[in-house]
Amino acid sequence: MYRYSPESDDCEAQETPVQNQHFEVLAIDLFSLLPVTCDGDRWIFVVQDTATRWVELFPLKDATVEA
């Protein structure tokens, strides 16, 4: 960052938002590129609580709206 903007304090001036309660803000992701399990699961749905950094993983057979 310094190499591109040595005089910019924008990043330092930004405060990190603080959540008041657990599970107020969640980060989600869908992970694949895994071999299919014996149960037929191919995807992992990842959910992280940004306040506590608690992570839950959910195996999925399909990653469609209907699933």
Handedness of CA 36, 39, 40, 45 (dihedral sign): negative
pTM of the model: 0.66
Share of the chain above pLDDT 90, in %: 46
Q: What's the pLDDT score for residue 17?
A: 72
Give the Cα separation of 59 and 30 in Å (integer).
10
Average pLDDT over residues 39-66: 93
Domain-wise residue ranges, the chain: 27-67
